[in-house]
Chains A and B, each alone.
Chain A
């Protein structure tokens, strides 16, 4: 059981470039989440999904898009990266039977120059 994995671990982008962060979980969880972590601000929810084919906006969704085409994968896209999107991105998943307990991935560090 790998739990929640994230790809890549680290990436450097130039302003205006696009990229996709991949989150995968092997726990058959229905719910998945994307957070960003910035210094002094804790983690903030970007988007989340309560099931395959569904997505919803979180606290800071602007500049990001997401897709949940398969239950085990949750993709976070940046269409035109900006320096303000330099952050550490965490993916998490949870099960409807115990939705409050989220399992986190190891994080992706993104630097936008």
Chain B
């Protein structure tokens, strides 16, 4: 069985502060994908990143960066110099690499509130 844990339910920061969201996962599969999604107050799900379990290189995209550590089963997400528009719920998710019907297992989400 797969499991994704986001221990932080809510994080509040002041604009320009950095914020790191933790994600810990469990899976018996040796190959899998990890994802981060953003859900702004409008409610839609916005895809942010996908990582293959073979690739442990960290990634940076603008103010976003991701730290994948297979040894600790973690895939953490950092927003640098946060902005009010970053206020949203962020979900970490896991999917096994299978031939058909890839099913996403989501964590409970972390609500980020960025105050001006």
Which A residues have a C-beta under 8 Å from some C-beta of B? 31, 33, 35, 40-45, 48, 50, 56, 58, 88, 90, 92, 94, 96, 99-104, 106-107, 109
Asked whether any CB of chain A lies closer than 8 Å to the CB of B43, the reply is yes
Q: Which residues of B are found within 8 Å of A44, using beta-carbon distances?
A: 106
Q: Which residues 45-60 of B have a CB within 8 angstroms of A?
A: 45, 47, 50
5 A-B pairs closest in CB distance: A42-B106, A99-B102, A104-B45, A100-B33, A43-B106
Output the nearest chain B residue to A94 by Cβ-Cβ distance. Answer: B102
Residue total for B at the interface (Cβ-Cβ under 8 A)? 24
**Residue among B6, B102, B109 making CB contact with A102, cutoff 8 Å:** B102
* A-B contacts, CB under 8 A, total: 60
Instruction: Name B's interface SS.
Output: loop
**Residue among B91, B103, B107, B108 making CB contact with A45, cutoff 8 Å:** B103
A31 and B98 CA atoms in complex are apart in Å by 13
Q: Are B104 and A107 in contact (CB under 8 A)?
A: no
A55 nearest CB across to chain B (Å): 10
Known: A40-B108, A42-B91. A48 touches B101 (CB 8 A): yes
Q: Are B103 and A48 in contact (CB under 8 A)?
A: yes
Q: Are B101 and A50 in contact (CB under 8 A)?
A: yes
Q: Are B91 and A100 in contact (CB under 8 A)?
A: no
Q: Are A106 and B43 in contact (CB under 8 A)?
A: yes
**Residue among A31, A40, A109 making CB contact with B100, cutoff 8 Å:** A31
Output the nearest chain A residue to B34 by Cβ-Cβ distance. Answer: A100
Q: Which residues of A are found within 8 Å of B9, using beta-carbon distances?
A: 40
A18 nearest CB across to chain B (Å): 25
Known: A100-B33, A100-B50. A43 touches B100 (CB 8 A): no
**Residue among B43, B93, B100 making CB contact with A50, cutoff 8 Å:** B100
Q: Are A100 and B106 in contact (CB under 8 A)?
A: no
Asked whether any CB of chain A lies closer than 8 Å to the CB of B21, the reply is no
